[in-house]
């Protein structure tokens, strides 16, 4: 059951419907429900998600999972609390944006009535930005195994030394380093490559490697980790403040440009080292005065995505080394690369990625949706009942469009080969195209008989 038919609710419902899951969407906005009903094969019900009669009519007692993802924190909390009274066995997730709830996650999980998970998309966006800052130029960045493995999407430059090289020949070119290429995006089409496939200039290449060896892996692709020392944030709202607070703790020189005078005053009182400037972040003269060309990164976080796009393009043209752009409207994502913007963050997409790990069957620890939801990368625990356990990978009928990208066994990290064997309780990293995800879920839960 999904309470909230906005962008997050719509996209989660769409994802689940494609996987043939039974979904009910509840919302009090008839226009939002009409959009869902006309585009997705799910049930819809008009009413407040915090109303016990509405929850009962929607079938809360039969629901395995309740996702409360409206734009109102209060509605989301009420929906989960009422659901816990009516159906304690239903797992409950609430999207909460108020920072005041950050410290109360454990209380909600352990007290009665309880909520299993509070998801703050703003916290997740700041994590995404921090990951982007660690790998300048990356299109997607993710961490798994408690940060011991990195997953990064990078664009192959025109004169890259690995351009035209077969995947099977890459170890010879890189000194036998084991870097797994999980996927390649070419002409907007996602490919799970084989050893005979060649990398081409312009490809978006997804790499997986151990974090302590990632700098060397990036060098193989002519990319280099450079420390970020100077950052400019355009937009001093809640995300801008959270990010500046994090950067202060890392001793990164930070400036915030914010239009609203009251917000500027509040920021100046709360920040210790961050420089707060009251002005228009799209003002070229102001950017010149603030030495934008000396900035390692310019991060646009206003609530107006057109402004964010404009300022990011302006910053790149004025010499900023890296730009990160906040986008809210999912329909903008396909055109970002075409206009020269690669590093994009979205509170809504961050919320969806966090929700995915709770939706997936089996012991899924984390999940990340990439390239416009064309694929997912999952971190899960291998169950003893799974057919993936106990024999070499080359003898396993893995679903088409999926690849086992990593095995974490105690303190060891294994980039798998055909001879590798998964053991019970290993943590495994799986990269899967969207169509392969339901079959991967079966692998993670029950013993397979066939595909």
pLDDT at 448: 41
Residue 375 covered by a domain: yes
Summarize pLDDT for 135-157 with one digit per residue, the tens: 766 888 888 777 788 888 888 88
Residue 235 covered by a domain: yes
* Separation of alpha carbons 309 and 315, rounded Å: 10
* CATH code of the domain containing 368: 3.30.70.1450
Query: How many domains does the chain divide into?
Result: 4
Residue 419 covered by a domain: yes
Summarize pLDDT for 326-366 with one digit per residue, the tens: 998 777 777 887 788 888 888 888 888 778 767 766 577 77
Q: Among 178, 197, 220, which residue terminates a domain?
A: 220
Q: Among 291, 324, 345, which residue terminates a domain?
A: 345
Mean pLDDT value across the chain: 86
Residues 201 and 308 in one domain: no
- Domain boundaries, position 307: 230-345
Inter-residue contact 394 to 420 (CB < 8 Å):
no
pLDDT at 176: 58
Residues 336 and 357 in one domain: no
β-bridge mates for residue 298, sequence order: 232, 323
Question: What does the pLDDT average to over 159-184?
Answer: 78
pLDDT at 107: 77
Listed residue (428, 419, 282, 411) closest to 365, CA to CA: 428
Could you tell me which residues come within 8 angstroms of residue 31 by beta carbon, excluding any fewer than 6 positions away?
Answer: none
* CATH code of the domain containing 301: 3.40.50.720
Residues 296 and 328 in one domain: yes
Residues 112 and 138 in one domain: no
Q: Is the pLDDT of residue 446 over 60?
A: no
Question: What does the pLDDT average to over 127-133?
Answer: 89
State what percent of residues in the chain have pLDDT above 90: 41
pLDDT at 163: 84
Residues 8 and 28 in one domain: yes
Residue 40 covered by a domain: yes
pLDDT at 450: 36
Could you tell me which residues come within 8 angstroms of residue 46 by beta carbon, excluding any fewer than 6 positions away?
Answer: 26, 27, 28, 30, 33
Residues 215 and 295 in one domain: no
Listed residue (245, 351, 348, 235) closest to 299, CA to CA: 235
Residue 17 covered by a domain: yes
* Separation of alpha carbons 221 and 157, rounded Å: 8
Lowest-pLDDT choice from 26-30, 247-251, 429-433 = 429-433
Residue 450 covered by a domain: no
Residue 315 covered by a domain: yes
In angstroms, the Cα distances linking 281 to 122, 126, 236, 274, 304 are 21, 20, 11, 16, 12
Q: Among 187, 220, 253, which residue terminates a domain?
A: 220
Q: Is the pLDDT of residue 451 over 50?
A: no
Could you tell me which residues come within 8 angstroms of residue 406 by beta carbon, excluding any fewer than 6 positions away?
Answer: 144, 145, 149, 180, 208, 413, 414, 415, 416, 428, 429
* 392's tokens: 């070499």
Residues 241 and 197 in one domain: no
Residues 216 and 300 in one domain: no
pLDDT at 76: 94
Question: What does the pLDDT average to over 40-54?
Answer: 95
Residues 430 and 380 in one domain: yes
Residue 165 covered by a domain: yes
Residues 215 and 176 in one domain: yes
pLDDT at 252: 95
């Amino acid at each position: 059951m999904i309470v909230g038919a906005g962008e997050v609710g719509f996209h989660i419902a769409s994802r689940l419907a494609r996987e043939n899951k039974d979904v009910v969407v509840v919302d009090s906005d008839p226009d939002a429900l009409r959009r869902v009903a006309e585009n997705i094969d799910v049930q819809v019900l008009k009413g407040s998600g915090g109303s016990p009669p509405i929850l009962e009519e929607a079938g809360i007692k039969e629901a395995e999972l309740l996702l409360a993802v409206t734009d109102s924190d209060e509605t989301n909390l009420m929906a989960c609390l009422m659901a816990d009274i009516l159906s304690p066995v239903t797992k409950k997730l609430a999207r909460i944006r108020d920072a005041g709830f950050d410290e109360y996650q454990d209380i909600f999980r352990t007290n009665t009535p309880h909520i299993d998970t509070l998801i703050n998309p703003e916290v997740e966006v700041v994590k995404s930005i921090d990951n982007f800052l660690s790998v300048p130029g990356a299109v997607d960045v993710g961490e798994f195994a408690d940060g011991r493995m990195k997953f990064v999407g990078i664009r192959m430059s025109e004169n890259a030394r690995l351009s035209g090289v077969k995947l099977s020949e890459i170890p010879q070119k890189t000194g036998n380093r084991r870097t797994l290429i999980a996927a390649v995006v070419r002409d907007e089409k996602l490919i799970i490559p084989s050893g005979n496939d060649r990398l081409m200039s312009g490809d978006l290449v997804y790499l997986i490697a151990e974090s302590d060896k990632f700098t060397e892996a990036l060098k193989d692709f002519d990319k280099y980790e450079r420390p970020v020392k100077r950052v400019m944030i355009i937009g001093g709202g809640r995300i801008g403040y959270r990010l500046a607070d994090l950067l202060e703790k890392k001793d990164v020189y930070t400036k915030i440009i914010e239009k609203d005078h009251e917000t500027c005053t509040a920021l100046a009182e709360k920040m210790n080292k961050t420089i707060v400037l009251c002005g228009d972040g799209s003002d070229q003269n102001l950017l010149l005065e603030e030495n934008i060309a000396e900035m390692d990164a310019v991060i646009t976080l206003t609530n107006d995505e057109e402004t964010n796009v404009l300022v990011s393009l302006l910053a790149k043209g004025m010499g900023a080394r890296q730009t990160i752009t906040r986008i809210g409207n999912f329909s903008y994502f396909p055109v970002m690369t075409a206009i020269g913007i690669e590093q994009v963050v979205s509170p809504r997409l961050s919320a969806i990625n966090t929700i995915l790990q709770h939706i997936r069957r089996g012991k899924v620890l984390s999940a990340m949706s990439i390239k416009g939801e064309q694929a997912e990368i999952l971190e899960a625990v291998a169950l003893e009942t799974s057919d993936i356990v106990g024999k070499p990978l080359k003898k396993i009928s893995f679903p088409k469009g999926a690849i086992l990208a990593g095995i974490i066994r105690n303190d060891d990290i294994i980039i798998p080969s055909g001879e590798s064997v998964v053991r019970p309780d290993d943590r495994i990293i799986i990269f899967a195209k969207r169509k392969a995800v339901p079959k991967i879920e079966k692998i993670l839960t029950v013993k397979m008989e066939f595909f």
